[in-house]
Structure 1
Amino acid sequence: MLDGCTPWPAEYAERYRAEGYWTGESLIDVLESSAARHGSATALVQGDLRVSYEELVLRSRRAAVGFRELGIAPDDRVVVQLPNVVEFVVVCFGLFRLGAKPVFALPSHRASEIRHLLEISGAAGYVLPGVHRGFDHPALGRRMRDEVGTLRHLFTLDETVAGDDLVALSAVEAAGAAADPSGTVPLPAPDPADVAFFLLSGGTTALPKLISRTHDDYVYMMRAAVEAIRLTGDDVYLAVLPVEFNFTFGCPGVIGTLLSGGTAVLAADATPERCFPVIERERVTVTSVGPSVVQLWLDAAEWMKPDLSSVRALQIGGSKLHRDLAARIRPELGCGIQQVFGMAEGLICFTRDDDPEEALLTTQGHPISPADEMRIVDDKDQDVPPDTIGELLTRGPYTPRGYYRSPEHNARAFTEDGFYRSGDLARLTPDGRLVIEGRIKDLINRGGEKVSAGDVEGHLEALPAISRAAVVPVPDDYLGERMYAYIVAVGTAPTLPEIKAALTERGLAAYKLPDRVEAVDELPHTGLGKIDKKILAARARGETTPTAAVFFSPLSGGTGTDRPAS
C-alpha cells in the first residue's frame, strides 16, 4: 500500500478474504468481465453519444498506454476534475489499468481546494476541463503547475485549449492507439489489496481529507450495493449528481451499473429541465439525488408533468430526508423510493423494496453487508439502548481504517479498535433500522437545552409557505446560543410570529422555536452538495463572507452566485 495509507489489520484482512467479502478482483477485472458478457451492449450514454462495453474497454486500454507514453507511472497520483462525461470513466479505468491513482476533485473546486488536493496527494498529473461554466480551468492548471512542485503533467478535456504544456485527452488516447494499435500491450495487473483511487471527505468546515479505497473493498461494496438494490443488466442508471461523488460513482452508481451489465447515463446537471426528458427517453430505472433535488423536482413536476414511472428506485441520500417530503414522492413523481445513508469513508445503508411503508419514509434501512458493524454510543463511548440517540461508530470490509496522510486526525476519528467516528447523530430502531438524526456539530445549546437543527429544519420545511430551511447557532451571552433560521419561501415569506405559531401548532416545544428568521432566494451549498452552514453562521453573526461564496443554486453547476453543489 502507498505510504500514508492505513491498511486493515492483518487479522481483519484475512477474515474478510476467508469469508468471501474480498475476492481478489480489481476494478479492471469488473469492467473486463462485463465487457466479455455484454460486448456490444451500451455501457455509457452522454447526450447523443453512446459507448458500448467493447469500446469502453478499448478506449480505457488506449488511455492507459497513452498516459504511460506521456510520462504517468504506476503509483503516480492524478487529480481528476471533470464534469459528467464519458471521458471521466475512460480516464479512471485507464489510470486503474496503469496502476496510477485517481484523486477525485469536484467541478466546483477552485484554487484553494485543488492546491490542497495536489499537495496532500503529491500528484504528478491533473486532468481538467476547458473553460467550464465560465471558469478557466486551464489557467488554474498552469498556475498550479507553477506552485506545486510535484505536478508535472496537465491534461484537458477541451482540444481547443490544448498546447505543448496542456495535453488533450483525445491526444492521450491517440498516443495509446499509436503505441498499441490492437489494444493488447500487456500492463501489470493491479494488486487488489492496493489503493485504487481516492475519494474526498464530506465535511463542511475544512478542506477535504483523502480517503483511500482499495480494489478489494470497493469491488465488494459495489457488489453488496448491487445486490441490495437488485440491479441487473436491464437497469438504466442516471448519474444526476457529480460522478466524483461516492454515491454516484459506486453505490451502486455508474460503476456498479457497469458491473451489472446495465447502462449508465451521464447528466450534465440535476435540473428537472435536463433530467426529466432524459429519464423519459432512456427509461431510467435508478438514479441518486439529495433532498434539495427532490424538492425542486417536486416543484417542477407540478407544471412539467413528466413521466417518471420507469424509475423503480429514486435513491435519496446526502442529508436527512424529512418524512413530509418523502411522503410526496410516490404520489407526485410516480417513482419508487429508496432511502440511503452512506459516507465516502465506508458504511452504506439502504431501505429495501419490501420494507414497511413507514420504514421507507422515516429510516435509512439496514447496512448492505452482514459484516458491517455499527455502534450507537454516548459521549463516554458507551453503547446506548435501542431508539436512543448517540454517535454512530462503524467498521467493516469497506470502511477504511484511516485518512490518507492524516495521522493526527486519524487518532481522533477512529477508536483504538478501529471503529470510525462518523460524527452523525443516529439511533437504531428496535428492529435494527438506522435513523440519522443529524450531525453532532449540528446541535444548538440553547439555555442548556440541546436542539437538533435537523429536527427544526424538518418542521420548517413541512410548512406550506417554506420550501427549504437551514438552522444555525449564534453565540448569545444569556442563553449560550440562539437559533437563527434561513428559509426559502414559497411566495410571500412568513413572519417570525407566523412561523412560531405554525411550529407550535405542529407540537414543537417552545425552546425549539427559532429566535430569528431570514428569507433568502437560495441556500448556499458546499462543493459536496451539503448546505454550507459555515457561511450561514458567519452571516448570522454579522461577519462578511466572500461575494462569490454566498447564495447559489445546488443544481446549475455555475459559478459565483450560481455556484454548484457538486
Structure 2
Amino acid sequence: MTHPTREGTVPWPAELAAEFRAKGYWEDRALGAYVHDTADRLPEKTALVDGAVGMTYRELADRMDAGAERLLALGLRPDDRVLVQLPNSWQFAVLTLACFRAGIIPVMALPAHRRYELAFLADLAEVRALVVPDRIKEFDHRELAAEVAEAVPSVEWTLVSGDAGPAGTPLEPLLAPGDHPAGARARLDAAAPDPDSPACFLLSGGTTGLPKLITRTHNDYAYNVRVCSEAAGLTEETVYLGTLPASHNFPLACPGILGAFFAGGTAVMLPSPSPARVFATVEAERVTIAAAVPAVAQRWIEYQQEAGGTQLASLAVLQVGGSRMPDELARKVRPVLGAQLQQVFGMAEGLINMTRVDDPDDVVCTTQGRPVSEADEVRIVDELGRDLPDGEAGAILTRGPYTPRGYYRAPEANERAFTDGGWYASGDVVERRPDGNLVVQGRDKDMINRGGEKISAEEIESLVYRLEEVTMVAAVAMPDPVLGERLCLYVTLRPGAELTLERVQEALRSYGIAAFKLPERLVVVEELPTTKVGKINKKELRADIAARQAALAESR
C-alpha cells in the first residue's frame, strides 16, 4: 500500500500561507480550473498543435476531463503518483492536465532517463502507474517499463503511447474526447483537488546522487505560471514553441505550455530542437516565443547564419535558460535571429529570474535577469552566511510563494538545502547588480551542467568505483564552447591495470544510466591532488582539464 503524499511533503508555515492568500498570490484554485477559464472564454481558439494534430480549447478541456475520469475508472485514485516519461506531444499535455484535474500526481521524468533513474524515482514516489512511449528512435520504452515495473512493487499499470504491446494499456483511448463534457466537468469540479495539495513532482538537478522530488502544489504552481507569463508578456496572440523536454520546469511552466493555456495562446509541441524542424515549425505555425538552452540557441544562430531566409519572421522573443548564456552569444540573438532575447535563470525548486523584453541591451546580454515576483526574497551570502553588498559574488538564498520548503521524503537533503527560516540554497554563485539584475558566476556545489542537464559528480563517481581497475576517481566539469560543460573523469588505477573511456562508458550503460551522464573524457593519473584536509582538490582538477582543453584547441 502506498503512503499518502502529505507524509513526505514539507508544508509552508500556516501564517505564510495565510499571507500569500491575503495578497492574492495563491488563488485557492486547482490548475485545471485555469484551463476551463480559457475554454469558456475562447472555446474555438486553437490551444494545442502537435504536427498534424490540432485542438481547440473546447476539445482540450473535454479531453482533460474525460481523461481524468478514465484514469480514475482505471483504478487510480486522487493522491496516487504516476511516473510520466513522454516526449513533447499532445499526449504529454493532455495527460498532465488530466492528472491535475483528477488529483493524480505526475512525476516528471525525462525521455532520456533509463532503468537506474526510473526505478529509483518510481520506488521513492511509490508510483502506481508508468506512462511511456512505445519507442523513441531505436529504443523500446515498453521493455524499460517492464524492467521498472518488475523492480518496483507499487506499479500496477503501464500506460503506453502508441503501440502498447501485449503488456501495456493504450494511452490514447484514455485521452479521447468524452461523451458528456458538461457532466464530467460538474463531477470533477465537485471533487477538485485541495489547492494546497501536490499538483506534480519535478526533479531536482541532484548534486548528491539521484534526483530529488520537488513538490509543487496547485496554489504555488499556478502563481509560478501567472508571474512568469506576465514577465514574458504572454497574451491570447502568443504562439509558444516547446522543444526542450516539457517535463522540465522551464518549458512546462516558466511560462511554458501552461502559460500559453492560461493566457489563451497556442502551445506548439515539438520533440526535437533540430534547427531545420524548428525553423519550419516557426514559419508554419507563426510562432511568437520559443525557449532554448544556450547550446540549442547557438545551433539556431549558426543555422540561420548559414541558411539565411525569413522562416523566423514571426518570432518575437527567444527565452534562453538552463545554464548561463555566454555574453558574446547573447549579443548575436537579435541581429541574427531577429528576436528579442529574454534570459531566464531559475530552478525547479522555485525562484525564477528573467530579463524583461523592454530591458536595455546591457541588461539583456550580460545578466540573467531579476525575480519575476515582488514577493521573491533573495539574499547573496558569503561562506559564513553573511549578507554581501551588491557587486560581490556569493551563494544565493531564496524563499517566496512558489519556492517550496523541502524535498519529498528527503530529510537529509532538506537539512543541507534549506536553512532556518525556509531559505533555499540552490548552490548557484551569483552577483547582484545595483539595478537588481543577477549575474550567474558559477556553482558552489559539485555538479556538471551539460547544456542544461545536471549531472551529479558524486553519483557518477559511486558507479565508476564499481570497476575493479579503479582505485580513486573524481568527476569534474570541463569547459565546452557548445554545451557549457561536459563530464571528465580523473582516475587512478590498480598496479598493472589499464582503462579506456570506452570501457567506462560501456560499464555505465550496463548500469542503466541516462546517456547524457556518460563521461566524455578520461584522464588517468598516478595520484589525485588533495586539499590540506585530505579531500580531492577538484578546483585544481578543473583548472587542469581547462588547461588541457586549451592546449588541445591550440594544437589543432
Q: Shared fold (TM-score greater than 0.5)? A: yes
TM-aligned CA deviation for residue 303 of structure 1? 2.0
Q: 1:20 to 1:199 in 2, by over 3 A?
A: same
User: Percentage identity across aligned positions?
Assistant: 41
1:323–1:195 distance in 2 versus 1, CA, 3 Å:
same
Query: Distance between the aligned counterparts of 1:128 and 1:306, measured in 2?
Result: 38
SS of structure 2 residue aligned to 1:426 = strand
Give the drift of 1:134.
1.2
Q: CA deviation at 1:25?
A: 1.8
TM-score by length of 1: 0.80
Q: Matches of 1:487 and 1:213 in 2, distance apart?
A: 33
Residue 537 of structure 1: aligned partner: 489
Determine whether 1:546 maps to 2:502: no
Where do residues 9-20 of structure 1 align in structure 2 (5 Å cutoff)? 9-20=13-24
2:223 equivalent to 1:271: no
For residues 266-305 of structure 1, what are the alpha-carbon distances to aligned partners after superposition, in whole Å with 9 as ceiling and x for unaligned? 0120010110111111111111101100111111112221
Matched with 2:251 is 248
Q: Tell me: CA distance 1:290–1:8, structure 2 relative to 1, closer, same or farther (3 Å).
A: same
Which residue number in structure 2 is paired with residue 366 of structure 1? 370
Partner Cα separation in structure 2 for residue 180 and residue 434 of structure 1 = 47
The 8 Å contact of residues 232 and 261 in structure 1, kept in 2 or not, is answered as yes
Partners of 1:145 and 1:242 lie apart in 2 by 23
* 3-state SS in 2 of match to 1:161: coil
Instruction: Report the CA distance shift for 1:258/1:487 in structure 2 as closer, same or farther (over 3 A).
Output: closer
What corresponds to 1:448 in structure 2? none
Q: Which runs of 5+ in 1 are unaligned?
A: 444-452, 458-469, 473-480, 489-521, 524-529, 551-556
Preserved CA contact (<8 Å) 1:133 1:558: no
Aligned to 1:236: 239
- Of the three residues 303, 307, 311, the one matched with 2:306 is 303
Aligned-residue CA RMSD in angstroms?
3.0
Residue-by-residue CA offset, 1:463-515 (whole Å, 9 max, x unaligned) = xxxxxxx9x9xxxxxxxx99985556xxxxxxxxxxxxxxxxxxxxxxxxxxx
Query: For 1:209-224, what aligned pairs fall within 5 Å after superposition?
Result: 209-224=212-227
Matched, 1:193 2:196: yes
Alignment of 1:407 with 2:411, yes or no, is: yes
SS of the residue corresponding to residue 337 of structure 1 reads strand
- In structure 2, what is the equivalent of residue 88 of structure 1? 92
Matched ranges for 1:100-249 at <5 A: 100-158=104-162, 160-163=163-166, 165-173=167-175, 177=178, 183-184=184-185, 186-187=187-188, 188-203=191-206, 206-249=209-252
Greater CA drift, 58-67 or 101-110: 58-67
Contact 1:125 1:153 in 2 (8 A): yes
Distance, in Å, in 2 between the alignment partners of 1:123 and 1:532 is 32
Normalising by the residue count of structure 2, what TM-score does the alignment of the two structures yield?
A: 0.81
CA shift in 2, pair 1:141/1:181, >3 Å: farther
Q: Distance in 2 between matches of 1:433 and 1:99?
A: 37
Decide whether the 8 Å contact of 1:212 with 1:404 is kept in 2. yes
Which residue is equivalent to 1:467? none
Give the aligned residue type for 1:139.
E
Kept in 2, the 8 Å contact 1:378–1:391? The answer is yes
User: 1: CA distance between counterparts of 2:304 and 2:199?
Assistant: 40
**Closer/same/farther in 2, CA of residues 145 and 558 from structure 1, 3 Å limit:** closer
Q: Report the more deviating stretch, 539-548 or 211-220.
A: 539-548
Alpha-carbon spacing, 1:77–1:381, altered in 2? closer, same or farther (3 Å): same
User: What one-letter code is carried by the residue in structure 2 that aligns with 1:129?
Assistant: P
Change in 2 beyond 3 A, CA 1:559/1:202: closer
Deviations 1:16-43 (A, max 9, x none): 1111111112111110101101111100
Distance across 2 between alignment mates of 1:540 and 1:386: 43
* Structure 1 position 548, deviation (Å): 8.6
State whether residues 425 and 440 of structure 1, in contact with CA within 8 Å, keep that contact through their aligned partners in structure 2: yes
Count residues in correspondence.
Answer: 483
Change (3 A) 1:428 1:539: same
Alignment of 1:384-403 (within 5 A): 384-403=388-407
Q: What's the offset of the Cα at 1:181?
A: 9.7
